[in-house]
Amino acid sequence: MDFHIGDTVVHWAYGPSEIVRQEEKSFSGSRKAYYVLRVGNMTIWVPADDASHGSLRPPTSPNDFGRMFDILRAPGDPLSADRLERKSLLMERMKDGTLESKCRVVRDLRAHSREKKLNESDVLILEQARNFLLSEWNLSLAVPRSQAEDELNQMLEISQQGTPLPAA
């Protein structure tokens, strides 16, 4: 997929960003084309060939957010009680880069927190996933972040009213 200067894209790790320019850089005697992205007050370079392999994607369309909301309202899937196994699964989902995966991380960690106290790693992953989700929500649906946060919390409350989760 080719992107252009001025396009708004979503980076798998950093979230919504804007392509500000394209550059060629040489590293170890090899020249590569890069997209230069502005993410908040940060600038990152993404190899153009990596962009076609999933590191960049267009923002989720407003129509597709209905599916994300269904995920957030659904009861959470059980997560492993083993912290290392849980962290591995959650990090795999985070690296997936899709908004759907981020929604599942938020929903499932919130559900897990009803059964057990979240550890430091869980809290950090939950915060990253929430921020990513809320940033794209704000971009795609053009709602203030505070409104998106309120709506997210309401959806997560609905998910918690579902069937209690079995302990993993």
- Note the pLDDT of residue 167: 44
Which stretches of the chain are DSSP H helices?
48-50, 65-73, 83-96, 99-115, 120-141, 145-160
pLDDT in tens, 90-138: 999 999 889 999 999 999 999 999 989 999 999 999 999 999 999 999 9
pLDDT above 80: residue 53: no
23 φ/ψ angles, rounded to the nearest 5 degrees: -140, 160
Q: State mean pLDDT over 72-100.
A: 95
pLDDT above 60: residue 1: no
Q: Which of 55, 146, 136 is nearest to 100 (CA)?
A: 136
d(CA 67, CA 70): 5
Structural domains in the chain, CATH included, are: 8-57 (2.40.10.170), 62-160 (1.20.58.1290)
What pTM value is reported for the model? 0.86
Query: Any residues with CB less than 8 A from the CB of 162 and at least 6 apart, and which?
Result: 74, 75
pLDDT above 50: residue 23: yes
